[in-house]
Amino acid sequence: MVLADPLMSLIDTACVGRVSSLQLAALGPNTAIFSLCFQLFAFLGIGTTNLIASNSLRDPALDSGTRQLRQETAERTLCNSLLLAVASGLLITTALLLGGRRFLAAMGTAPELLHPAWQYMSIRVLAAPASLVMAVAQGACLGQQDAWTPFKVLLAVVLLSAGKAGVLSTSVGHASFLSCGQCIRQLSDSHMCIRQLCNSLRL
């Protein structure tokens, strides 16, 4: 999942670049801004991994009381992390919707690129809560020594992104349409990852 956001940006760039150099240039400052935002909140996934791993249920020597206590602690940790991820994602969304144009201008975006860059940002930022939820879910999976679930989700994300981006770039070639597809994709993939995680924790 760490690779998911850079891969999505790379696929968007490749598809848009085939159609419009103006829209391609508008992706540049957006990629930098979103990468910075998500790196600032990377501690959510890392902290969740450590806390879930310290309450792992995979030790066969655990007695029933300790196992129950660890499961309750892991569930509480996951719930708190998910709430914090949603709150942080909403904070990013609000900040970029209110000050996105200023951030783009501060990145040195040319005046003729501000409008398409803002179109892309205003749609893609709606998926910020889902992106942070996916990071927390990945951290919880890794904390349970389950690397297969995040890999399956990442594979689905990449294939879905390539398919949607290819269709949209062929039919429209507009960065805002790609950001809409990315937003929908991240929401659906975060739901898939959370469902798998809840099944493994028996919530």
Q: Mean pLDDT check: name the lowest of 67-71, 129-133, 134-138, 166-170.
A: 166-170
What is the average pLDDT value for the chain, to the nearest integer? Answer: 75
Q: What is the per-residue DSSP string for 136-166?
A: HHHHHHHHTT--HHHHHHHHHHHHHHHHHHH
Q: What is the pLDDT of residues 91-129, one digit of tens each?
A: 999 999 999 999 999 888 888 888 888 988 888 888 888
Q: Which residue has the higher pLDDT, 42 or 2?
A: 42
Pick from 121-125, 138-142, 174-178: least confident: 174-178
Residue listed under structure tokens 């609000």: 94
Task: Find the range with the poorest average confidence among 12-26, 35-49, 102-116.
Answer: 12-26
| Position with higher pLDDT, 173 vs 120 | 120
Q: What pLDDT is stored for residue 3 in this prediction?
A: 56
**Closest Cα to residue 183, out of 126, 121, 118, 116?**
126
- Residue 34, C-beta contacts closer than 8 angstroms, at least 6 positions apart: 5, 9, 124, 125
- In degrees, rounded to 5, the angle at the alpha carbon of residue 60 between the alpha carbons of residues 56 and 61 is 100
Mean pLDDT of the 76-97 span = 91
Q: How far apart (Å, rounded) are the C-alpha atoms in residues 19 and 25? A: 12
